[in-house]
């Protein structure tokens, strides 16, 4: 079996609407236009999907891990109606002012874990993010970086991948 090609996705600003503040209420967790249509096109090309997100609001006590999981359940359910599956949603709950870690982007530990766990070929894989720290993490892990504008419709950039 050859190794898998993966589309890694940042969460806020790529998967769901970046609001300029932490998003943790499911009513504020709004999927960006065109996301699932774009992922369906990528799925036709045998990509798998994994989300990698910094959620420092947990360390900052702005919201709980359970609130975050509720948002992720909403994402998983909405994706299922398009027959889209996320193999995993990796999150860093830390904040550098409170506890240092290696999992917060721009560090690449979560990407490396995913690459190992899901037998992914980083050279065939992409990280779609809306911040420099996303693309920095991608480069560290040997994954191709694709920087979009916050809340940009990913269909506008798929020609760069396909
Ligand atoms: Mg983002
Ligand atoms: Zn962390």
Query: Can you tell me the distance from the alpha carbon of 144 to that of 135, in angstroms, rounded to the nearest whole number?
Result: 8
Any domain includes 23: yes
Question: Has residue 31 been placed in a domain?
Answer: yes
Question: Which of these, 61, 120, 60, lies nearest to 88 by C-alpha position?
Answer: 120
CATH at 117: 3.40.50.1000
Output the CA 100–ligand 2 centroid distance in Å. Answer: 7
Residue 128: nearest ligand to its CA?
Answer: 1
Domain count, the chain: 1
Q: How far is the CA of 19 from the centre of ligand 2 (A)?
A: 22
Question: Residue 75 is part of which domain span?
Answer: 9-121+134-160
126 inside domain: no
Query: Per the domain annotation, does 4 fall within a domain?
Result: no
In a domain, 129, yes or no: no
CB 45 within 8 A of CB 162: yes
Which ligand is nearest the CA of 18, by number?
1
In a domain, 110, yes or no: yes
Structure token pair of residue 16: 């769901």
Cα of 133 from ligand 2 centre, angstroms: 13
pTM: 0.98
Q: What integer pLDDT is reported at residue 1 of this predicted model?
A: 74
Instruction: Read off the pLDDT of each residue in 141-154 and give the average, rounded to a whole number.
Output: 98
Residue 2 counted as domain residue = no
- Residue range 113-139: mean pLDDT, rounded: 98
What local confidence, expressed as pLDDT, does residue 88 receive?
98
pLDDT at 132: 98
Cα of 104 vs centre of ligand 2, distance in Å, is 4
Q: Which of the residues are catalytic?
A: 10, 12
pLDDT tens-digit map of 24-64: 999 999 999 999 999 999 999 999 999 999 999 999 999 99
Q: Rounded distance, CA 145 to CA 130, Å? A: 10
Please state, for a pLDDT cut of 90, what percent of the chain lies above it. Answer: 99
Banded pLDDT at 160 (limits 50, 70, 90): very high
Which ligand has the minimum distance to the alpha carbon of residue 14?
1
């Amino acid at each position: 079996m050859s190794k898998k090609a993966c589309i890694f996705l940042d969460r806020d600003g790529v998967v769901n609407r970046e609001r300029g503040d932490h998003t943790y209420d499911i009513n504020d967790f709004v999927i960006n236009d065109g996301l699932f249509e774009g992922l369906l096109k990528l799925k036709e090309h045998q990509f798998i999907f994994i989300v990698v997100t910094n959620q420092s609001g947990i360390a900052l006590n702005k919201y709980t891990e359970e609130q975050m999981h509720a948002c992720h359940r909403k994402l998983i359910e909405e994706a299922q109606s398009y027959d889209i599956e996320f193999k995993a949603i990796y999150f860093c709950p830390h904040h550098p002012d409170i506890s240092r870690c290696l999992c917060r982007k721009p560090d690449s530990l979560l990407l490396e874990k995913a690459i190992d766990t899901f037998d992914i070929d980083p050279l065939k894989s992409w990280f779609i993010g809306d911040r420099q720290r996303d693309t920095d993490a991608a480069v560290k892990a040997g994954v191709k970086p694709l920087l979009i504008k916050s809340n940009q419709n990913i269909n506008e950039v798929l020609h760069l991948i396909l």
